[in-house]
Structure 1
Amino acid sequence: MIDNEFIEDGDEVWDDADRQCILSTARRRCGREVADKIQSAFGGTVIYVRIPRNITPDCELAQVVGVAQAKLIAEELGGCSIDVPSLSTAKNRADQNVIRWAKLAGLPNRKVATLVGMSERHARFLAAGLRAVGRLPALDTGRRWNQYG
């Protein structure tokens, strides 16, 4: 599993949209394996976490991680509907981090694409997105935008 970027504030753990994050809570309370199971089973959906006393073997979270682990998670998140980030979002964020590192290191597009395991065009596309939000410096080619016209 690939780590997502979470903001931790004291005892509460929040994702980038100011929502409590089940993956961060599960990782902290139960371990990485439990967080991976939750993301694999529920990624991209919203699940309701029952309060601890209502966790039974038939609740959807307990069926995936077990009753004991579900109760540990429910101690913090019980009674809430929680968005579970999808695996594709986590992989995309990890790819962006690798692309950012490789581009800052000066690697050419072909090597970046090979390193991440995608087409050169897609690597350029992700790098352009990183430039647009300021995570990569702008390209300085020394050419005018309308040099051909």
Structure 2
Amino acid sequence: MSDMKIQVAAVAVSAAAISTILLSAGPASAHAYDGKDPYKSGCAASKVYTGKKASLKNEIGDSLGTVKLYYSRRCGTNWGEAKVSKHGTGQITVFTSKKNISFTYRAGNGGRHWGDMVYAPSGVCAKASATVSNGIGRTNKGSGTTAKACG
């Protein structure tokens, strides 16, 4: 009987130890600026346009908007900004080789939307993509991705 109690206790301790290890093991590459708004954080005050832009095209090649990639010199971050119809909804994602962060936008704001930042200091390449939906039907949906910019 006592051997059985020891085995049960050992299993319980092992499960607790494993869950503690898993909870404390967050993403090693996470940074304080990841997922933050570039304007609310103040990072957009030092923004520069990377020169990387893409059209958000539907399946027949019509442009439904654009996405541009920006970089903050002060914060070492990248984010995408989309210009679409004021009725457009969609998602903006910024990518590096190690992570990506997405932001879903709703209609409004005059059709100007920006995604959240990803920390990408000098030497790290990034790109931005966006989607837009202006209503029902495939011709009302578009997407595009910028070329990479390496800081």
TM-score, normalization: structure 1? Answer: 0.21
Larger fraction in helix: 1
- The structure whose RCO (Cα within 8 Å, separation 6+) is larger is 2
Larger fraction in strand: 2
| Rg larger for | 2
